[in-house]
Structure 1
Amino acid sequence: MSDLRHRRVYTRWFALLVGLVTGAVVGFAVYWGSQLTGAALFMLCGTVAGGVAALVFYAYSRTMYLTELTVSIPNFTDLTFAVTPSNEGVAWRLFVESVTRVSTQPLTEGTGVVRETLNSLYSLFQSVRQTLVEAGPTAGVGGTQTVEHLAIGMLNAQMRPFLAKWHPQLLQWERVNPDVPESQWPGNAQCRAELEAMRLGLLDYVRGLGQLAGVRNIDVMLGRSADQ
């Protein structure tokens, strides 16, 4: 504890010294600049303006294109994604939307209700699509993949085919058999089996969204899904 206290004291005094030296240098530069006239003054102003423009451009480029991240999705080669502050926030919203849904949790035989899971899956589909519409496309990253590529892949490769097959089948059976328990539905077992396969594939995309959002310990946040 004593060493830590001494280190903090040294850091404080070093910061003070750097501040004093920097202030002195800036003060001298301002004084020197105030003495200039003619071409020298214009050169100084141009240099300062150029430096400010460079800093602004650098800051803008940092907001548009921060870094790249490789995400592995089964059945695809590793994909390189552009991570910017804006689409990092979009990835976080999509990740939270996904991990908090019933549809990302396992529906074991004899438990849960398929209808509830289908409704949750449909609601997630709508939410992801609305988030992408509101966020708009990521600009300034060239041909690199972005968060919308991953999210649209999740919708079209995992969720849409399953919903297109099983939602109308269950709905039709429910209309014909309004008072019959869902467990009596002839397609119950097969739907649950395909639901689990779809869910595991969906989690790969959700993990990818978590990576793009900078989430640590993603499987811990996925809860029960992390055991799969």
Structure 2
Amino acid sequence: MTNLTTNSTTPMRRLLRGRTTRLLTAMVIGALTGVVVFAITQVTGRNLFIITGAIAGAVAVTVLQLYGRSARLAEVKVTVPQISEFTFVVDNDARQVAWHLFVETATRVSTQPLASDEGLIREAMNSLYSLFATTRDILKGSRPSVAVAGNQTVESLALAMLNQELRPFLSTWHPRLRGFETAHPDGPESAWPDNATCRAELRRVQRHIHAYALGFARLAGVHDADTLISRSLS
């Protein structure tokens, strides 16, 4: 019984001792700060400007160091269709752009596979058009990343998605679908002769956009992105 009491009180004593030590340390620091502030207020003339400048310089260096830590560069490897693996160097600004692009690509129907007997090609195509326009707006509204020799930027990945995936598909299939819709305003989409071929090509593009979404997630530092995409589209 005696041992149990001794063992239970020892941690409490350590806790109290630690708090007392921190309190005394804070009091000493506060007292020294007060002395320094009082001494500075007694200084006049040139010495006051020297001391004030030194303090301002110390504050500026501290702020720059904190900013440098928060904006430090990170090297990330991303693999997407038609590009293979590339190395990207990203900072906080690039991560923010990548996060916006991930949200846009992950929450659209354009990344959800369209079965041969489900949904409408027109809806998926409109989603791709919207993704194209939104991605372009995100890039125009953000500051260009500083390119590091031998590495890619988040903008280059986004432009690759636009120019190698979205633009070729839309420029090829949108005029054909629009031509059928114009000639058959009341006809079902399933009656379009190119329906099956377009759906097959659409599924390929959607798989590729899904890979780009995962790439943006890696650049943004998103964990378990595949699960997030599945949940957003369920």
TM-score (norm 1): 0.79
CA RMSD between the two structures: 3.2
Structure 1, unaligned runs of 5 or more:
none
- Equivalences, count: 220
Is 1:195 matched up with 2:167? no
Sequence identity of aligned pairs in percent?
Answer: 42
Structure 1 letter corresponding to 2:170: L
Distance 1:98 1:77, change over 3 A: closer
1:176/1:92 CA distance change after superposition, 3 Å: same
Per the alignment, in what secondary structure is the counterpart of residue 72 of structure 1?
A: strand
- Quote the residue 2:129 is aligned against: 122
Evaluate the alpha carbon distance shift between residue 48 and residue 42 of structure 1 in structure 2; reply closer, same or farther with a 3 A threshold: same
- Report the CA distance shift for 1:113/1:31 in structure 2 as closer, same or farther (over 3 A): same
Matched, 1:76 2:84: yes
Within the candidate set 202, 209, 214, 1:207 is matched to 214
Q: Following the alignment from structure 1 to structure 2, what is the Cα–Cα distance between the partners of residues 126 and 10?
A: 62
Deviation at 1:171, TM superposition (A): 0.9
Distance across 2 between alignment mates of 1:111 and 1:155: 26
Q: Which AA in structure 2 matches 1:19?
A: A
Structure whose alpha-carbon radius of gyration is higher:
2
Residue by residue over 1:94-146, the C-alpha shift from the partner in whole angstroms, topping out at 9 and shown as x without a partner, is 221221111110101111111110011111111111122122423x5554533
Equivalent-residue separation in structure 1 for 2:62 and 2:202 (angstroms): 51
C-alpha spacing 1:162/1:33, structure 2 compared with 1 (3 Å): same
8 Å contact from structure 2 (residues 105, 209) kept in 1: no
Deviations 1:157-204 (A, max 9, x none): 211111111111111122122222211212111111111111111112
Q: Secondary structure at the match of 1:77?
A: strand
TM-score, normalised by the number of residues in structure 2: 0.77
Whether the 8 Å contact between 1:69 and 1:83 is mirrored in structure 2 is no
Conservation of the 8 A alpha-carbon contact between 1:95 and 1:210: yes
Q: What is the aligned partner in structure 2 of residue 172 from structure 1?
A: 179
Which whole-Å CA distance do the structure 2 matches of 1:73 and 1:142 have between them?
18
Q: Counterparts of 2:203 and 2:18 in 1: how far apart (Å)?
A: 55
Counterpart CA distance in 2 for 1:8 and 1:183 is 74
- Of the candidates 75, 94, 119, which is equivalent to residue 101 of structure 2? 94
Q: Supply the distance in 2 between the matched residues of 1:222 and 1:14 (Cα, whole angstroms).
A: 50
Separation in structure 1 between the aligned mates of residue 15 and residue 159 of structure 2, nearest angstrom: 49
